[in-house]
Amino acid sequence: MAYSLDHVSYEQSELFSGSSELPADEGVAGEFTPATFYSRASAFGLDKLIITIIMIMLGFCGYSVLELSGVSQTAGMWYETVILFSWLWFLVDGVYFTFFHGYLGQTIGKIVFGIKVVCDDGRPLGFGRAAGRWLGYFASDIILGIGYLMAAFTKYHQALHDKIADTKVIQINSGR
């Protein structure tokens, strides 16, 4: 199902007109197809797997440094390490989603599944809106994941964090 971007300005409509200035593989046109719930969930799962792998590697590096430095492994030390590791995980997650959405409009998972995040009017997100969208994940988390499930039932398949940040996730590779 395709939807029109009626409220775009002249400059933006040039962007979506399929003119020769845009590469053909960009996949953005005057009409867009919302990404399915399944492609969104799969991309999100892949992104979380990538972040988990990054954190496991950082954990092994941190543990190795502690072992090589001869730091005592007291109970208090483990507690502090867990707290530090939790904050590091939070930071890596935020940087990952904010950087990729702000710079490319796509995370690695979204690239694999051929979907992209854009503003409601079709413009790229930018880093501020990408950070706001990432913070919106917490609103979805607080209500036990229902905010994520909204993407399965809303007209443009928008989750709560999309509504908060005024974004849409669109399909850019229709062959997948």
Q: Which tens digits make up the pLDDT trace of 17-40?
A: 333 233 333 444 457 899 999 999
Of the candidates 110, 104, 109, 96, the residue with the CA atom closest to the CA atom of residue 126: 104
Where in the sequence is the domain holding 145, given as residue range(s)? 3-171
- At 65-74, the pLDDT tens digits run 877 877 766 6
Q: What are phi and psi of 115, to 5 degrees?
A: -130, 160
Evaluate whether residue 114 is within a structural domain: yes
pLDDT computed for residue 82 by the predictor: 84
Number of domains the chain is built from: 1
More confident residue, 21 or 58: 58
Cβ-based neighbour number of residue 12 at 10 Å: 16
Instruction: Tell me the pTM.
Output: 0.78
Helices 75-103 and 126-142 cross at an angle (nearest 10°) of: 130
Evaluate whether residue 176 is within a structural domain: no
Quickly state the pLDDT bin for 125 (edges 50, 70, 90). very high
- Per DSSP, 8 falls in state -
What token pair was written down for 94?
A: 């935020």
Q: Would you say 10 and 69 are in contact if contact means Cβ atoms under 8 Å apart?
A: no
Quickly state the pLDDT bin for 9 (edges 50, 70, 90). very low
Evaluate whether residue 159 is within a structural domain: yes
pLDDT computed for residue 79 by the predictor: 78
* Length reported for the chain: 176
Q: Would you say 40 and 115 are in contact if contact means Cβ atoms under 8 Å apart?
A: yes
- How far apart CA 49 and CA 112 sit, in angstroms, is 13
Evaluate whether residue 92 is within a structural domain: yes
Side by side, the strands of the sheet bearing 31-34 are 3-4, 31-34, 167-171, 115-119
Quickly state the pLDDT bin for 174 (edges 50, 70, 90). low
Q: What are phi and psi of 2, to 5 degrees?
A: -110, 145
What's the farthest any 2 CA atoms get from each other in the chain?
65
Alpha-carbon dihedral angle through residues 133, 151, 171, 3, given to the nearest 10 degrees? -100
pLDDT computed for residue 13 by the predictor: 38
pLDDT computed for residue 20 by the predictor: 29
Evaluate whether residue 41 is within a structural domain: yes
